[in-house]
Chains A and B, each alone.
Chain A
Amino acid sequence: MKLLTEGKSKLALLGSVAVILIVFPLLVAGKPFTINICILAGISIILGMTFSMLFSAGLISLGCAAFYAIGAYASALLTMKLGLNFWLALPLAIIITGAVALAIGSMLVRNPGFSFVVLTLLFALVVAEVVGQLGFFGGWGGIIDIPRPDPIGPIEFSSNISYYYLLLFLLALVVTVFYALYTSRVGRAWRAIKLSASLAQTLGINAYRYRLLAFVVASSAAGLAGSFYAHYYQTVIPSTFSGWVSIYIQLYAVLGGLEFYILGPAVGAVIMTFAPEFLRVIKEFEPLIMGALLLAIILFFPGGILGTLQKLPRFSLASISARMKRIAKGVFTRDNLTK
């Protein structure tokens, strides 16, 4: 995994980003709508990272939405039908998602290549159909009135802000786990498999096993996002998890930079979540501009935004962190975010 910088300056950059993220909601406390968008972006980041993890092992999956759905529905049902509280339902939902991923993945991962792409897409369609058809999952109307998480100590989940910090924590968790994987021998094995599965195998790397590992870990993260989503929106409907969602997830990684397994989807998800908000004023033309924006990014930023930026010499560490601080202050206090 490549970050934009190396060494101790990396930590400094990370630290300043962390500070911004933590302090940010207090700056816009009066505008819950903004927080909502940030939460959406956060969920999208996790989902994008799901795609990237699979991509890092050489798998292109259009089925991330399926596990997003499984996590959401599992969590919703656990709390509503079994009366469990969220804090128990969340890890259980992750485990359930992981189990399904293991079962499905063990079959799908045998044939990487175009069939895998389509099979994952099919699986996403299947899941969306199943939860829509069967009454047990609430049918096409979905499940409503999903309970909020129980308060932990003095922290209640009655407003956006608590959810924001919860998501931030979950995001940090996911990023940490993913980063640990990417920098370990597992990540190296993935990259080897991605670049040349045959060569990797002659080195003693069991391609199937590592791909399956990527599949299960990534899908579990999607399940985590799903569970959070269910208890934030308090409603899950099948149309949220349609086939197109998977396709958008892949977009985040492509836009941000396919070779940046953590920051790439973050950048892409942020763009795809915030840009429509900026364009809200011209609602009728928003998809047109989004489409054009997508095309522009692909054409002018081959290798994604981060990929192209990395090649420009003026993006050294010092100027980047300084610039980031400036941008952060500017963007998040601008008025048009509050409409």
Chain B
Amino acid sequence: MFKYNVYGSCEVNAQLALQLVVNGLSAGMLYLLVVFGIDLILRSTKILNFAHGQFYMIGAYMCFLTYGVLHMNYFLSLVIACLAVATLGALSYLGIFNFVQKRFAGVGSVSFRLLVSATSSVGLMMILQQGIILLFGTTTHGLPSAFPQTITWDGVQLRAERLVVILLGVMFCFGLYWLLFRTRMGKAARSVSFDAEASSLQGINASVVYLLSFIIGCALAGFAGAVIAPIFVVTPVMGHSIIFLALMVLVAGGIGSYKGAILGAVLVGLFTSFGYQFLGGVSHMLLFVSVMLLLIFRPGGILGEALD
């Protein structure tokens, strides 16, 4: 999450506003990546993955390892981070969730199965969390910025790295749209998430779809972590709170809707950016309260129908 050292200033001028917008959008893009990951997994496999923040963190650590310690090319390290997290995701799914889902298939209500898989994800979370601490220790690591340039536009100084994040986020949105709506695999994924049984009758192998969804979902989180690693710092606790923020964005935007997730992420990103500038720490609290109120009066979120 982006924390700023300057706050409380109440001057509103165009330059500050632009910077805040850029910061907000880049934060939003990051939330978007994480949210899509968790949403994809949730909708496809009906697993609420509480270990998602850890995959995010592992992506960051992979970036630290390849880009920070081994001084590889940044883009290469992004790819490696994604692959590493994807592999880990595959192992987690095959080793854990696959069995849990098979064990509990058709047993009890949907909410029971959700609870059980969520609980197993907590177990995974513990393992991953401590694994990282054992491997990398508890110190905070800083990384050199991948895009240290500053772009000056209309007299305003904008950090290139933030702009790159926005760019990546937008590219990602288009990429995901193409993947889910234009490819066979994507359509298969959507139909499986809708009705697994009917889909298997059409020859779509649900298990493969589940596995792929899980892998992609984790890879997204890892990617987000690797992207943010040079911008912020790499710590063992960075995964802890992102899951809550992701869930919040997810329900605020509306669970049934991809557009809602995008909208939610962007709004939350902007809110945190502007909020922290003008209100300081209280903005965090206000964010939670606003989302709560939103959900109370509009249970479907901004754009979605509630998933019950």
Binds A, one of B98-106, B193-201, B217-225: B98-106
Give the residues in chain B near A122, CB-CB below 8 Å. Answer: 248, 288, 291-292, 295
- Chain A residue at smallest Cβ distance from B251: A118
Find out whether the CB atom of B288 lies under 8 angstroms from the CB atom of A129.
yes
In the assembled complex, B142 has its CB within 8 A of some CB on chain A: no
In the assembled complex, A126 has its CB within 8 A of some CB on chain B: yes
Give the residues in chain A near B281, CB-CB below 8 Å. Answer: 133
- Tell me, rounded to whole Å, the shortest Cβ–Cβ distance linking A284 to chain B: 6
Find out whether the CB atom of B285 lies under 8 angstroms from the CB atom of A60.
no
Q: A113-B306, A133-B284 are in contact. List 11 more A-B contacts (CB 8 A).
A: A60-B114, A115-B299, A126-B292, A133-B282, A247-B50, A258-B115, A284-B134, A291-B124, A292-B127, A294-B126, A302-B116
Find out whether the CB atom of A119 lies under 8 angstroms from the CB atom of B296.
yes
Give the residues in chain B near A108, CB-CB below 8 Å. Answer: 296
Find out whether the CB atom of B127 lies under 8 angstroms from the CB atom of A299.
no
Give the residues in chain B near A251, CB-CB below 8 Å. Answer: 119, 122
- Tell me, rounded to whole Å, the shortest Cβ–Cβ distance linking B5 to chain A: 17
A107 to B111, CA, bound (A): 21
Give the residues in chain B near A244, CB-CB below 8 Å. Answer: 240
In the assembled complex, A125 has its CB within 8 A of some CB on chain B: yes
Find out whether the CB atom of A254 lies under 8 angstroms from the CB atom of B116.
yes
- Chain B residue at smallest Cβ distance from A131: B285
Find out whether the CB atom of A295 lies under 8 angstroms from the CB atom of B124.
yes
- Tell me, rounded to whole Å, the shortest Cβ–Cβ distance linking B3 to chain A: 14
- Tell me, rounded to whole Å, the shortest Cβ–Cβ distance linking B128 to chain A: 8
Q: Using a CB-CB cutoff of 8 Å, which residues 246-277 of chain A contact chain B?
A: 247-248, 250-251, 254-255, 258
In the assembled complex, A192 has its CB within 8 A of some CB on chain B: no
- Tell me, rounded to whole Å, the shortest Cβ–Cβ distance linking B125 to chain A: 7
Find out whether the CB atom of A60 lies under 8 angstroms from the CB atom of B306.
no
Give the residues in chain B near A118, CB-CB below 8 Å. Answer: 247-248, 250-251, 295
Most buried by B among A248, A250, A254, A295: A295
A250 to B130, CA, bound (A): 21
In the assembled complex, B107 has its CB within 8 A of some CB on chain A: yes
- Tell me, rounded to whole Å, the shortest Cβ–Cβ distance linking A327 to chain B: 25
Give the residues in chain A near B119, CB-CB below 8 Å. Answer: 250-251, 254-255, 294, 298
Give the residues in chain A near B111, CB-CB below 8 Å. Answer: 60
A336 to B267, CA, bound (A): 53
CB contact between B299 and one of A111, A288, A302 (< 8 Å): that residue: A111
What are 27 contact pairs spanning A and B, CB under 8 A?
Answer: A60-B115, A113-B307, A113-B308, A114-B255, A114-B306, A115-B306, A115-B308, A118-B247, A119-B292, A119-B295, A122-B291, A129-B284, A130-B285, A243-B241, A247-B118, A254-B116, A258-B115, A287-B129, A294-B119, A294-B122, A294-B123, A294-B126, A295-B96, A295-B123, A298-B120, A302-B104, A302-B116
Most buried by A among B124, B250, B295, B307: B295
Give the residues in chain B near A119, CB-CB below 8 Å. Answer: 292, 295-296
Give the residues in chain B near A130, CB-CB below 8 Å. Answer: 285
Give the residues in chain B near A288, CB-CB below 8 Å. Answer: 126-127, 130-131, 134
What are the 9 A-B residue pairs with the smallest beta carbon separation, nearest first?
Answer: A291-B126, A294-B123, A113-B308, A291-B127, A287-B130, A129-B285, A295-B123, A291-B123, A126-B288
Give the residues in chain B near A126, CB-CB below 8 Å. Answer: 285, 288-289, 292
A55-67 to B contact mask, C-beta < 8 Å, 1/0: 0000010000000
Give the residues in chain B near A306, CB-CB below 8 Å. Answer: none
Q: Using a CB-CB cutoff of 8 Å, which residues 280-330 of chain A contact chain B?
A: 284-288, 290-295, 298-299, 302
A121 to B244, CA, bound (A): 8
A121 to B245, CA, bound (A): 11
In the assembled complex, B2 has its CB within 8 A of some CB on chain A: no
- Chain A residue at smallest Cβ distance from B240: A244
A114 to B307, CA, bound (A): 6
Find out whether the CB atom of B126 lies under 8 angstroms from the CB atom of A290.
yes
Find out whether the CB atom of B288 lies under 8 angstroms from the CB atom of A125.
yes
Find out whether the CB atom of A285 lies under 8 angstroms from the CB atom of B130.
yes
Give the residues in chain A near B104, CB-CB below 8 Å. Answer: 302
- Chain A residue at smallest Cβ distance from B125: A291
A43 to B163, CA, bound (A): 49
In the assembled complex, B112 has its CB within 8 A of some CB on chain A: yes
In the assembled complex, A123 has its CB within 8 A of some CB on chain B: yes
Q: Using a CB-CB cutoff of 8 Å, which residues 200-256 of chain A contact chain B?
A: 243-244, 247-248, 250-251, 254-255
Give the residues in chain A near B134, CB-CB below 8 Å. Answer: 284-285, 288
B123-152 to A contact mask, C-beta < 8 Å, 1/0: 111110111011000000000000000000
If the complex has contacts A122-B248, A288-B131, are A133 and B112 also in contact, measured as CB distance less than 8 A? no
